[in-house]
A and B are shown apart, each in its own frame.
Chain A
Amino acid sequence: MKIAVCVKAVPDTETKIALAADKKNIDFAGVRFIASPYDEFAIEEALKTKEKLGGDTTVFSLGGPECTDVLRDALARGIDNAVHLTDADFAGLDTLSSAKVLAAAIKDGGYDLVFLGHTGSGGDNSQVPSMLAELLGWAQTTMVVKFETDGTTFKAEREIEGAHEIVQGSLPALISAQKGLNEPRYPGIKGVMAARRKEIAVKDAAALGLKGTVGGANVKVKIKEMLMPPERPQGMKIEGDADAQVKELVRLLRSEAHVL
């Protein structure tokens, strides 16, 4: 089995968001980057699949220097190889361009499976998995909470509104991970030490055969302006004993807020 994992470096989910001066991005000053939380489930599923069927695992991350720690963390957990996809052309990519870069890196590698988080925390687009599967011409199942494969076929359970769908398909396949898929392991000291010595391969637009085809004028959708959410009006605390509080709450919800 050859297994690829895509990991995105994103601002820590605890980050308090402020906008940059040009209002086209967030202010990255002092922001700590982590692997997007759903990508941890993807890494774990890749490791579990390798443990079961044998093979080789490679982690890919697209972006700037913030990707290095995230790639090392994946190596420390037991992923075999790491590839950093980075180029000045890759700044400000839309989802389709990001999928094109990942597809270029993965398509001729002889992979059987790609795991990645179902959405990248921050951008919250949840599009790259399906776009990547299309560009590879592979089967896909997104938002997966249960996965098994025998190396030829797979069975995946995905969360939909009020139900789970059981999907059956053939490899090669792309699987996007939802929380609940597994319990990610933490890297041990030995893994961390070994990961420090491992080499991270670097591929740029030219190496991927993408020079001039992604980024810049090829970006089809971009942020014109970012906004902070509207301030909520000052709320009120309802005083009195429990009975009085509840009666007043119901009155307000009905007569003032009109939601009951």
Chain B
Amino acid sequence: MSTGYLVFVESRNGQLRKASLEALCEAKRKCNGQPVSALLIGSGVKGLAADAAKYGPDKVLVADSDAFATYSTEAFADALVAAVKACSPRFVFAAHSAMARDFVPRVAARMDAPCVADVMEIRSEGDNLLPVRPMYSGKCFGVYEINADLAFITLRPNVFALAEAGAASAATEDLAVSPADVKAKVADVQASQGNKVELTEASIIVSGGRGIKGPENWPVLQSLCDALGAALGASRAVVDAGWIDHQHQVGQTGKTVSAQLYIACGISGAIQHLAGMSSSKVIVAINKDPDAPIFKHATYGIVGDVLEIVPKLTEEVRKLHEHN
């Protein structure tokens, strides 16, 4: 009988992904004394095991090999399968990242196990977990019931609390994996022009819509982003108009975000946009039209011209930071 938790902890450029550590912390909160193992996959990632150990797993498995120097769905899938076989967990957790959503369902299919993706809350029912996840881009939620001995769950970044790092006491164990049949592999990674902080992981987002009047005014919003350490988002209308790349789009055909603070600038609040951001904690709307639907969802609303309000806001935020 399978028991306990295995958490895939993603690393990129020698750093553990914060969203993966959030998943590890959630496994610790849910484990009820059952073992929790962490899994690192990569080339030269052994040194990161101590960082992962600070978040309380009983064991850190490390699949460290040149075969994982660049990402390959099939190679990473082989490593996760080997880890599942090594520790027979009941639940496998991972952050809902571009990487995990690519290879985790592949592993689930190989092991004939279910997968529940982009979970925002995990309820317990006896020994079983009831993951809760958004559907229809957050217009409603589903509470899921799992009927299997092994299940894969991916957790939305920025939603589950990150515990304080403690002393590292977990044992590190090497996991030998030699991927046999790799038919596709990453040959190159090109950094995108745009956000330094990924939208789905940003705690503050400043988003622009038609109300910014034209693409020449993005720098106005970018200055506010820089002052706040925020990521820049956009409505579908301005993406479709070609004012900005799709990677910035928030909403039903873009990204779904759960920020601590979401500042909607000149966005009217079409249902597709609201679906993608309304789980944010605090929403600020700045819009000229006092009847814009966005105001119904905003914690704080300012009726006014974005191009007048935003620069003043940037100035105030800068002053605030200077004082601190």
B281→A246 contact, CB < 8 A: no
Whether A140 is near chain B, meaning CB under 8 Å from some CB there, is yes
Whether B196 is near chain A, meaning CB under 8 Å from some CB there, is yes
Contacting A161 at CB < 8 Å: which of B77, B201, B281, B300? B201
Which residues of A lie under 8 Å from residue B298 when comparing CB positions? Answer: 235
Which residues of A lie under 8 Å from residue B50 when comparing CB positions? Answer: none
Whether B188 is near chain A, meaning CB under 8 Å from some CB there, is yes
Q: Report the interface size class on chain A.
A: 35 or more
A246→B316 contact, CB < 8 A: yes
For the complex, give the distance between the alpha carbons of A216 and B113 in Å: 16
Whether B179 is near chain A, meaning CB under 8 Å from some CB there, is no
Residues of chain A whose beta carbon lies under 8 Å from any beta carbon of chain B: 11, 13-17, 19, 26, 37-38, 94-96, 99, 121-135, 138-143, 145, 154-155, 158-170, 173, 178-180, 219-229, 232-233, 235-238, 242-243, 245-247, 249-250, 252-254, 257, 259-260
Q: Give B90-123 as 1s and 0s: 1 = Cβ < 8 Å from A's Cβ atoms.
A: 0000000111011111111110111111100000
Instruction: Count CB-based A-B contacts (< 8 Å).
Output: 271
For the complex, give the distance between the alpha carbons of A104 and B82 in Å: 27
Contacting B105 at CB < 8 Å: which of A131, A162, A246, A257? A131
A173→B183 contact, CB < 8 A: yes
A167→B187 contact, CB < 8 A: yes
Which residues of A lie under 8 Å from residue B165 when comparing CB positions? Answer: none
Whether B161 is near chain A, meaning CB under 8 Å from some CB there, is no
Q: B-side binding surface: helix, strand, loop or mixed?
A: mixed
Which residues of A lie under 8 Å from residue B187 when comparing CB positions? Answer: 155, 166-168
Q: A-side binding surface: helix, strand, loop or mixed?
A: mixed
For the complex, give the distance between the alpha carbons of A113 and B283 in Å: 43
B190→A164 contact, CB < 8 A: yes
Stretch at the interface among B41-49, B140-148, B166-174: B140-148
Closest B residue to A103 by beta carbon equals B109
Known contacts A17-B140, A133-B106: A160-B98 contact under CB 8 Å: yes
What are 7 A-B pairs with beta-carbon distances under 8 A? A126-B118, A161-B198, A179-B249, A225-B142, A229-B279, A235-B301, A257-B261
Which residues of B lie under 8 Å from residue A219 when comparing CB positions? Answer: 147
6 new A-B pairs (CB below 8 Å) besides A245-B302, A245-B309? Answer: A15-B136, A17-B136, A139-B73, A169-B185, A235-B300, A260-B261
